[in-house]
A and B are shown apart, each in its own frame.
Chain A
Amino acid sequence: GQQVMQIPQYQHVQEGEDFTTYCNSSTTLSNIQWYKQRPGGHPVFLIQLVKSGEVKKQKRLTFQFGEAKKNSSLHITATQTTDVGTYFCAGTAAGGTSYGKLTFGQGTILTVHP
């Protein structure tokens, strides 16, 4: 079945440093979504990418979808303590009979030291 791999599993940064998490799918994706889960909280939708090579920005966050629609990345510029949490990518396999099921990556746990 479809697998979505996400690296790194953990990332510790000093406040002000940049952060990137990478997501790779074993199959071509229709779309990829990114969620943030604060410690003790629930996943909150950040963004969805649909087009090959798409790049979207939200303030200090930059999201990319690969040309082959099998990988994606989230980059945070100048991290702040409010960025702390687990970042999940989640993709929907293209075609097939998956009815649009989201498959989550394992997540990257971001810690920001002030």
Chain B
Amino acid sequence: DAMVIQNPRYQVTQFGKPVTLSCSQTLNHNVMYWYQQKSSQAPKLLFHYYDKDFNNEADTPDNFQSRRPNTSFCFLDIRSPGLGDAAMYLCATSRVRGLDEQFFGPGTRLTVL
């Protein structure tokens, strides 16, 4: 039973061509996170939603945006992907912020040509 679903699993885009990654959850969790993970590195938090409240990390480039139209769905928009944005993008959820485990989706592998 999938709990955090990400689509697509693999995305290829061209330099500068906007791309949208999607995440959905069946857990009814309040918090949804977007992480960027590059090869052999730790996940890096880009931003998160606590319900409808959007929280951006200070070092997240303006090139990255997010939308959460409802509890179940969250989108990551990369307005003008650069070669350095090629990475695995992980969506995660938790019931509350802080003292709660995070459930990760399988990730979307983004390739920028």
Contacts and interface: CB of A to CB of B under 8 A. Distances in A.
Interface stretch (B14-22, B39-47, B70-78, B79-87): B39-47
A82 B77 CA distance: 36
Contact of A45 (B97, B101, B106, B107): B101
Interface in B15-64: 40-45, 50, 55
B43 A104 contact: yes
A44 to B, nearest CB: 7
A5 to B, nearest CB: 11
Contacts, number: 50
Which bracket fits the contact residues of B?
Answer: 20 to 34
B99 A30 contact: yes
Interface string A44-65: 1100101000000000000000
A88 B106 contact: no
Contacts of A109: 40
Contact of A106 (B41, B55, B90, B92): B41
Contact of A100 (B41, B98, B103, B104): B98
Nearest to B55: A99
Given A42-B107, A102-B45, A104-B43, A92 B99 contact: yes
Q: 4 closest pairs, A vs B, by CB?
A: A100-B98, A104-B42, A100-B97, A45-B101
Given A104-B44, A107-B42, 9 more contacts: A42-B105, A43-B43, A43-B92, A44-B104, A48-B101, A88-B42, A100-B96, A100-B99, A102-B102
Interface of B: 40-45, 50, 55, 90, 92, 96-99, 101-107
